[in-house]
Chain A
Amino acid sequence: MGNRSSLLLREEEIAQIEEATGFTPNQIERLYSRFTSLDRGDCGTLSREDFLRIPELAINPLGDRIVNAFFEESNSDRVNFLQFMQVLARFRPIKKNGMNILNSREEKLRFAFKMYDLDNDDLISKEELLAILQMMVGANISEEQLSSIAERTLSEADEDGDNMINFEEFCKALERTDVEQKMSIRFLS
């Protein structure tokens, strides 16, 4: 498998991806082999079904939305390797001399923010928050309780009084959290 994938990936492609995402060639090849193994149709791109076939993703409450995030990059119903890598690049650990901007703290937070913000209006409304809470907490909790949790969360973060959380407020709410650590994966190289 690894052999085939390195065959398919040309030198200049690797260089281009390296340029765009900051991954090392080694990591790119590794991820490419994963990419091809996900790609059942062998057409060089991934469809939604390819992602959703991953069994663990099915139990993840955010599975759908995470998959969606990949397609937002491409604006179509297929994801090519470069787009795949660009999304993953957000989770690269931040190096001190990192020049790439894809994995900055802001980009990481932006990704998390997108998980809530379904309608892309750059605001988290109470409904969006509730939807997320419902996904995570499950059905055993009364709607009222969830709703008051959502209310509290909104009022806690909300500063301009619109009862929504915008991105700045979101960042502010998480300013004490070590997002750089939490949203990084050690990609094997």
Chain B
Amino acid sequence: MKPKTENLAEYNIFSIEFHRVETPFIIGIWIFSASVAKIGFHMTPRLSKIFPESCLLIVVGVIVGLILFKTNNLHMSPMTPDTFFLYMLPPIILDAGYFMPNRLFFDHLGTILLFAVVGTIFNTMSIGLTLWIFGKTGLFQCETPILDMLLFAALISAVDPVAVLAVFEEIHVNEILYIVVFGESLLNDAVTVVLYHMFESYSEMGSQRIAYSDILSGVLSFIVVAIGGAVIGIMWGFTTSFVTRFTYQVRVIEPSFIFVMAYLAYLTAEVFHMSGILAITFCGITMKNYVEANISFKSHTTVKYTMKMLSSSSETIIFMFLGVATVNNNHNWNTRFILMTVFLCSIYRIIGVIVLTGIANQFRLHKLNKVDKFVMSYGGLRGAVAFALVLLIDPNHVPLQPMFVTTTITVIYFTVFIQGITIKPLVKILNVKRAEKRKPTMNERIHERIIDHIMAGIEDILGKHGNYHVRDKFKHFDNSYIRPYIVRNYCGAEPKILETYSKLTIRDAMDLIRRNASNAAFSNGIDEVNFHRSSSNYEKLNASGLDTQSGWNIDFQELDYNPSKKDMGEAKIHHLLTEELCKPHKRHRRLSYSRHAVDDKDLNTQVNFKIHMNMRRILGEHKHRSRRSKKSSKEMKPNRVSFSKSLGTDLSKSETMKEVTPTATESVLPWKREDTIYFNKPLKVNEFPLWCSAKDYLENDLLKIFFFHNAG
């Protein structure tokens, strides 16, 4: 709103004020164009088959950069180290940490750490020293102080989690290979940060004044940075879990707690110059275990999707920005230096991998073979972390910085383009075992847990403190000291088994509903009218010509079946129990005065009432069929045909009805019996659809409830 004084002169109906919104507007445009580009690739399957997405995004970035460059609009450099480290990196790392396959990660932690720590130090030192030696011979035609070279090597030798994720997500190698490369890229951040800061301050100090104590403190600071980052992350993780214990009243803020606190973990670590990447990774790993038990299913879905969205958009933006940032005029191209760097990066990566896998295989049950070694060395992509770090170098202290920038960009392009494009076909040619993504079945979940226990027991008998032993100890500790205090509804020692059970139940329900088109009608509310009508038709039918239809039931077993009191009781209990496991949720259409209230009535059920009832019916039907398949398959048919014939006039109705076949439980329901008050004539089978819940019949006022339910 303009102040009123301006009214005196002239009131502008229309005015343009761009600079106020410039920054958010441009950011918006960036995200928008990146997303559009991403849609574009997925619309062109041929492109996305050959190129990994990251390549295409860089290309788009370069094109955009060129346009901006030609129009001299490049005044707002999109890729600054701060925007990268503070806004674009955390979502990706959080996503990686939160969805980290914990078990795999900790199983291979030794190998991962070996690669992340020793491997990165080896790469840094060897690349730096080799470049320095070559510099001494005058190959690069410029002064190459050893510390600057080491600084450069420190940033160039770190495998980049963003690039690795982007490429490995698409090729689906087996999980061991994936976790080793990916874990390395996450954990080597600690080493990179330390080495980078160390060499940066060394080069500021000048090489003469470095004492041995400085090197020693460098080693110490590595331990501090790594452990400190991890501890900060774990602490924030526990705090988040603890806080979500109390959010059951305000479900809407659950996702924000997870994001904000993870972000705070990252920032806290950055404040103290700890490894933020490690902090947020461990924060994600820690909180996932407990948060999922505390927050509602819907919040969890929200967290999942938001995280995926944030990480994929920042990944998209990072690659685009990389492309844009390439186009500028402070390049300092030094062919020899660049070629040498690319060569050294690849060669030392290979050497490092071969040596380190040799060491790791001494201790591993699953040996890494040649193909694994190849993929690991080839998958060592460099990416935006290196780029952001090279931009951070102060050109006043390090005069070679422009050359470093150009070289870093080239190395990134080399790894992302050449290695990124070729790794997919290579994986195919080498026949690398691919990952099969699937959810565990109930059997697998239980038996694998049993196997874990067996192995832990055997390790104890052997007196060997291996993985299983450690895991067992941790689980025991977790279950007795951590979970009870952090998880709100702490239930049992094996939450995974319950989780698998509930997930499988939901999936089954969804699948069944989806597969049975006719049943699917039930799950959407529109059909309620139809359903209503059919049931009232039903009543009419029952009232009118039922004597003629007493021959419906051809199944003698069914006729002979005479439910006793005990059976009835059992049936009741059975229904109550199944109900308890997947509680039907009633939709209360209550007025909500709060914008922030999330209707959370279906929290524990996770299975929609109708879906649940449908599923039960279908399952019951299935059981029934299989039980009597030999005997009564012939008899079932006339039964059903006559049934649908009798209702045949109404097509939609017959469709909804014809799936209804008798089940054992159905036959003991009250309305099946002779004394049912609603029907003049008894109907042995098929007379009432199963979608009425156990509660309905228990109240013995069936139809009323039905209509009531429909009306409400």
CA distance A176 to B452 in the complex (A): 16
Closest to A30 in B: B462
CA distance A182 to B446 in the complex (A): 14
CA distance A152 to B436 in the complex (A): 24
In the complex where A156-B442, A161-B626 touch, is A137 in contact with B472 (Cβ < 8 A)?
no
Within 166-180 of A, Cβ neighbours of B (below 8 Å) are at 170, 173-174, 176-177, 179
Closest to B494 in A: A137
CB atoms of B458 and A156 under 8 A apart: no
CB atoms of B454 and A62 under 8 A apart: yes
CB atoms of A66 and B461 under 8 A apart: yes
Q: Which of B31-39, B576-584, B639-647 contacts A (4 or more CB under 8 A)?
A: B576-584
CA distance A38 to B461 in the complex (A): 9
CB atoms of A133 and B442 under 8 A apart: no
CA distance A145 to B34 in the complex (A): 48
CB atoms of A184 and B448 under 8 A apart: no
Residues in A with CB closer than 8 Å to B581 are 144-145, 148
CB atoms of B497 and A149 under 8 A apart: yes
A181 contacts chain B at the CB level, 8 A cutoff: yes
0/1 string, B451-477, CB within 8 A of A gives 1: 111111111111110100100110010
Residues in B with CB closer than 8 Å to A9 are none
From residue B479, how far is it (CB to closest CB) to chain A in Å? 8
Residues in B with CB closer than 8 Å to A111 are 454
Residue from the list B455, B459, B493 in contact with A182, Cβ < 8 A: B455
Closest to A188 in B: B464
CB atoms of A183 and B365 under 8 A apart: no
In the complex where A136-B449, A141-B498, A182-B451 touch, is A54 in contact with B460 (Cβ < 8 A)?
yes
Residues in B with CB closer than 8 Å to A179 are 451
CB atoms of A144 and B454 under 8 A apart: no
CB atoms of B454 and A183 under 8 A apart: yes
B491 contacts chain A at the CB level, 8 A cutoff: yes
Residues in A with CB closer than 8 Å to B497 are 133, 136-137, 149
What size tier do the contact residues of chain B reach?
A: 35 or more
Within 276-333 of B, Cβ neighbours of A (below 8 Å) are at none
CB atoms of B447 and A112 under 8 A apart: yes
CA distance A152 to B364 in the complex (A): 36
B335 contacts chain A at the CB level, 8 A cutoff: no
CA distance A56 to B438 in the complex (A): 33
B569 contacts chain A at the CB level, 8 A cutoff: no
Residues in B with CB closer than 8 Å to A101 are none
CB atoms of B454 and A177 under 8 A apart: no
A91 contacts chain B at the CB level, 8 A cutoff: yes
In the complex where A62-B454, A182-B448 touch, is A156 in contact with B492 (Cβ < 8 A)?
no
CB atoms of A185 and B455 under 8 A apart: yes
CB atoms of B447 and A184 under 8 A apart: no
From residue B630, how far is it (CB to closest CB) to chain A in Å? 11
CB atoms of A156 and B493 under 8 A apart: no
In the complex where A56-B472, A156-B442, A161-B626 touch, is A174 in contact with B447 (Cβ < 8 A)?
yes
CB atoms of B447 and A138 under 8 A apart: no
Residues in B with CB closer than 8 Å to A60 are 453, 456-457, 460, 472
Within 492-526 of B, Cβ neighbours of A (below 8 Å) are at 492-494, 497-498, 501, 504-505
Residues in B with CB closer than 8 Å to A51 are 461
CA distance A92 to B365 in the complex (A): 10
CB atoms of B461 and A57 under 8 A apart: yes
From residue A98, how far is it (CB to closest CB) to chain B in Å? 14
A186 contacts chain B at the CB level, 8 A cutoff: yes
Residues in B with CB closer than 8 Å to A91 are 455, 458
A97 contacts chain B at the CB level, 8 A cutoff: no
CB atoms of B454 and A152 under 8 A apart: no
B366 contacts chain A at the CB level, 8 A cutoff: yes
What are 18 A-B pairs with beta-carbon distances under 8 A? A38-B461, A57-B460, A59-B476, A88-B462, A112-B450, A112-B454, A139-B492, A140-B490, A140-B493, A141-B491, A141-B492, A148-B581, A152-B505, A156-B442, A177-B448, A182-B451, A183-B454, A185-B459
Taking Cβ atoms with an 8 Å cutoff, the residues of B that contact A are 363-366, 436, 438, 441-444, 446-464, 466, 469, 472-473, 476, 479, 490-494, 497-498, 501, 504-505, 577-578, 580-581, 626
20 new A-B contacts at CB < 8 Å, known A116-B450, A176-B438, A185-B458: A31-B462, A51-B461, A56-B456, A57-B457, A57-B460, A63-B457, A91-B458, A115-B450, A137-B497, A137-B498, A139-B492, A144-B581, A145-B580, A145-B581, A148-B577, A148-B578, A149-B497, A156-B443, A161-B626, A170-B447
